[in-house]
Amino acid sequence: MHIAWIGKKTPFCGNVTYSREVTNGLLDRGHQVSFFHFTNDGQPPALDPGSEGWKAELDRRDVSLPCLYKSQIYTIPTLNAKRLLTQALKELQPDLVHASLTISLIDFVLPEICAELNQPLVATFHPAFDRRRRNIASRTQYLAYQLYAPCLANYHRTIVFSETQREILVKLGVSPQQVVVIPNGVDVDKYAPGPSTLKQRLGLERIFVYQGRVSPEKNLEALLKAWKHSQMGEKCGLLIVGDGPLLNTLKPFYNLQHGIHWLGYIADEQQRIEILRGADVFILPSLIEGLSLSLLEAMACGLAAVATDVGADGEVLADGAGILLDPTRVTAELQTLLPLLRDQREFTQLLGMKARQRVLERYTLSHNISQVEQLYRELCQGSRQPRRV
């Protein structure tokens, strides 16, 4: 099967990881994948259809779409991006188009393009959420769901990561038959418990980890305040893995004298895995989430997991697979929990075993890709005309 995948390669975010892992998995299973991605990082102007460079991109199945701006959250395509995408899809003639939605205007015209070309169309809808809309961040994100729902009704299928996310879209008018729950997945052979020299190198006995963007919606300061006030001791460390707009604001006030280690963004996957293998507890204090890949990776490595009950993370940790926090009381609840997790080693080990078992049961990359393959087969065997509303 030949899939045209529309997604992101940069900047690093969950969408980038999702696109990379799923397309690599499809390639490993013998499918052809043409990867369409937005670029504006000092690249030359978009190639003209029919040029030698254009043909080379199509042959490599790696097609650049021009954009004016892109970030972890949204993308602004150029005026000719639609024309170039349409021409490339016409020439490549894929069996199916799958868009890992980048929050851009292209998302809204894809159904029209694919209807003209008679190509089945699938979306993966990533935006974070909190079903209770308890804060400004979650209420703002809900607007994205309201904006996208009429558009998603024109896609053959929309993949979401949780039942809660599906319920939101259905309430906003998307047909229940069009919304499919296929959670994020991780490679449980790669992300697994294993040896690590992390504690020896840092001179620590207990290690807690946060991995993610250092940005307002991640609510990292609530964790840092709790850590500082808990006085965890010199043999206990909190590792912050990631970068973002609040880094220079938070770092001066929460630093090594409080046992907080700022490691920045780590591109090397094996290094990130070694950090997780050497740690004891993973904490994610977000105000909103989708389904955190960082959380699943930590759980797969056998860490005790603590996260707020937002997005799909509440489903991931339900029934004892981890500890759920109220996003409005993160600092207060962590001040109680942190000393407990530091001192009760058998308890954290038990939580770590339960966390990995939950991933093995529900969130493996292999099962994820099998479900995606099945969805592709159903669509290619059925109607090839995206709905018009």
| Alpha carbon of residue 294 to chain centroid | 8
Structural Rg of the chain based on CA atoms: 22
Nearest to 39 by CA among 80, 69, 74: 69
Q: What is the pLDDT of residue 387?
A: 47
Domains 2-185+365-381 and 198-362 share a fold: yes
Pick the CATH number of 198-362 from 3.40.50.2000, 3.30.230.20, 3.40.1390.10, 3.40.800.10: 3.40.50.2000
Over the chain (389 residues), what is each successive 10-residue block's mean pLDDT? 92 85 95 91 58 69 88 86 93 95 91 96 88 64 87 96 91 94 95 97 97 94 96 95 94 93 94 97 94 95 96 92 96 97 96 98 96 96 54
Domain boundaries, the chain: 2-185+365-381, 198-362
Whole-angstrom distance, CA of residue 127 vs CA of residue 145: 8
Whole-angstrom distance, CA of residue 209 vs CA of residue 172: 37
pTM value surpassing 0.75: yes
With beta carbons less than 8 A apart as the criterion, state whether 356 and 96 touch. Answer: no
CATH top-level class of 2-185+365-381:
alpha beta
Give the residue carrying structure tokens 């989430």. Answer: 289
Q: pLDDT tens digits, residue range 28-55?
A: 999 999 999 988 754 544 566 766 666 6
Q: What is the pLDDT of residue 134?
A: 61
Q: What is the number of alpha carbons within 13 Å of residue 53 lying toward its C-beta?
A: 6
